[in-house]
Structure 1
């Protein structure tokens, strides 16, 4: 085991987790907040913690430590969104297990560039977005694009449930969550519901895979 400068990796740790919270980073590393503060103060962090983090989040250790992205592999594994890991919930290993789907590296590079480290897969499991998205379809979500600076399809998490909805911005920071299936009514949410985390914006849908 060797130590790596804490200041050089902490921002990239936050980027992978899509958070600014030190507590979230500590949870993802499976250490206490006190240990996190100690590493921060010493400006050193054990490499074994980072290796375990990279395996869990399917992140390149070269990118995490040096900011360099590996480009030699023909395929890149994109993780399926797992709310148990994303929210830092304490669960058994089965619940925390993340599934991956391999995509061609050159296609990901052409479509998303360096943003491919910010991508999640999400499986559609309802009919609320029919005909745009049907049960069994798969989408790619860019977790970096979660500021709701434009209308579009977003992966949202509300009251423990995760789903894709069409988001329309309204005056004052409110939003309207629209189901493309006319059998479902739109839902409006106030700006403070987003600000306080009652409605969590995971990211914007940037690709759709259809299940025919």
Structure 2
């Protein structure tokens, strides 16, 4: 086998920088996804037909089309329509955040509906407003129940983040491609960043297990 990992040694610092670059936009994306997903989840359980329909259409559109298509529309098509030259970093955050919101909304909606109906009835009987009930009673319990699922969404976003290499964003995958093109050797840099992806996902998985275990102990 024609393998020589010593050739990628000078490029290791360059590739390792991709860890921070990747986690930076993934973290921002999950924040956007969580905030927008929470709003969408509340729209889905409301009695306002228009808001419920709008949230369902949004979820269907983003869950029914490939993430890479959404990314390329934001990066290539939006500038064509608006004349605004959007950066690869912002495109990545928007594409992943908007896509994640569709999935997070379903997770949060399920968590809200899983809260005992009696608590809602008790709050209404005490004259607690809908907003206060959601913020102080329902959402804290729902988030506690769905935290493992949200962690899985973060792990999924981390793995799928490699897609941003198609728009030239200098994440881990793009850096491996640059090193491969420079050395005319692709297996070694791709295997190296593959190990980094696996390690990041492994760490996040272990964190998720710890969180889930503590959540069960606190019940």
Bigger strand fraction: 1
Larger Rg: 2
Bigger helix fraction: 2
TM-score (norm 1): 0.21
